[in-house]
């Protein structure tokens, strides 16, 4: 059974700081997703990572995938308040298996 673990589950960080969220998964998979969810809202797709060594960047967020280590990271650079949300990683095969999420709060 595929298990997906995220850490940390809660993260409070100051504006302007950098931090990394980790996503480990237990069995082979070659497709990993990162989603953002604001309170009471749906999931917004951030990144799809399809192969070992894949790196994608959008604004202050950068995601990478190491399929050998079964690890993905979501790196936040110079955090701003607007990044406050819950971030989920999810792993295929279909159906998706989600981590529990990392609740990020960016404070001034």
Partner 1 sequence: NAGVMQNPRHLVRRRGQEARLRCSPMKGHSHVYWYRQLPEEGLKFMVYLQKENIIDESGMPKERFSAEFPKEGPSILRIQQVVRGDSAAYFCASSPTRGPRLTQHFGDGTRLSIL
Is there binding between residue 34 and partner 1 (CB under 8 A)? no
Residues 6 or more apart in contact with residue 25 via CB below 8 angstroms: 2, 3, 4, 5, 32, 70, 71, 72, 91, 97
Least distance from partner 1 to the Cβ atom of residue 78, Å: 27
User: What mask of x and - would describe binding to partner 1 in positions 46 to 85, judged by CB under 8 A?
Assistant: --x-------------------------------------
**Segment interacting with partner 1 (CB under 8 A) among 12-20, 53-61, 62-70, 99-107:** 99-107
């Amino acid at each position: 059974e595929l298990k997906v673990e995220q850490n940390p589950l809660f993260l409070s960080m100051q504006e302007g700081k950098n931090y990394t969220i980790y996503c480990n998964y237990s069995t082979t998979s070659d497709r990993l997703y990162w989603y953002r969810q604001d309170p009471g809202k749906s999931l917004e797709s951030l990144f799809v990572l399809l192969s070992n060594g894949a790196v994608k960047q959008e604004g202050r967020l950068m995601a990478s995938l190491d399929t050998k280590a079964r690890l993905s990271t979501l790196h936040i650079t110079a955090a701003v308040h607007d990044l406050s949300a819950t971030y989920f990683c999810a792993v295929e095969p279909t159906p998706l298996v989600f981590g529990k999420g990392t609740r990020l709060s960016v404070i001034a």
